[in-house]
Every structure is written in C-alpha cells, then in structure tokens.
Amino acid sequence: QKEVEQNSGPLSVPEGAIASLNCTYSDRGSQSFFWYRQYSGKSPELIMSIYSNGDKEDGRFTAQLNKASQYVSLLIRDSQPSDSATYLCAVNPYSWGKLQFGAGTQVVVTP
C-alpha cells in the first residue's frame, strides 16, 4: 500500500464548477499536509498548506483535513481552464521536513 494515495484521474470538470480532489495517507502521526500544482513540463508549485483539522481557504482553493480519517482534500471553486494541471498531495510523516508525495491527480477543466 502506498503511503500517500490519490486518484490518478483525469478528473474532468466543466468550467465554473467545483473540482474535488482527495488524498489519503497511512501514517497516523503525520502533522503537515500540502497541495502542489504542477503544469505539464513544469515544476511543482505550492498552493496550499494545512496543519490542523478543518478547512482552510485561500482564494478559490479550500483545503480540508480530517486526521481521524487520515484524509485531506482540495476543492477548487469556479474552475478555470488555467486550473488544468496535475495536483500533488504531500504529507510530512516525520519530525521534520521530509515529505511523501502522492502520484498526483490530473485535472482537466473543459470550457
């Protein structure tokens, strides 16, 4: 079993709709969680970090964390074609900065 799991997609989302991405992790002691966006041929770009249970909103992005269920999600509201990318979930299962990454979910926003 992979330590950080994501649906690979592609997740097809109509323009203006909400994209919902899910991530589960295996290490119950994980403390920090990140979402990265990666456009094709480019490097990962940090878009959200979340450390405590609940929701965290930043513009059109909302990260949701449930440590009891070992589940973190990302919502993208009012999806735009520019949101078409692969979204990587990253989890910190250690006492410091090493991260474990999921394989990513590809999102395709259709006009």
Which residues bind to other proteins, rule: CB under 8 A? 4, 8, 31-32, 34, 36, 42-46, 49, 51, 88, 90, 92, 95-99, 101-104
Q: Which is nearer to other proteins, 45 or 78 (CB)?
A: 45
Q: Which is nearer to other proteins, 3 or 60 (CB)?
A: 3
Rounded CA-CA distance 91/39 in Å is: 20
Smallest distance from the beta carbon of 34 to other proteins, in angstroms? 7
Helix (H) or strand (E) holding 108, with range, is strand 105-110
Rounded CA-CA distance 101/19 in Å is: 20
18-69-94 Cα angle (round to 5): 105
Q: Which is nearer to other proteins, 15 or 51 (CB)?
A: 51
Q: Which is nearer to other proteins, 9 or 71 (CB)?
A: 9
Smallest distance from the beta carbon of 95 to other proteins, in angstroms? 7
Smallest distance from the beta carbon of 88 to other proteins, in angstroms? 7
The token pair at 52 is 């405590």
Q: Given the DSSP bridges, would you call strands 11-14 and 105-110 parallel, antiparallel or unpaired?
A: parallel
Smallest distance from the beta carbon of 111 to other proteins, in angstroms? 27
Rounded CA-CA distance 107/80 in Å is: 11
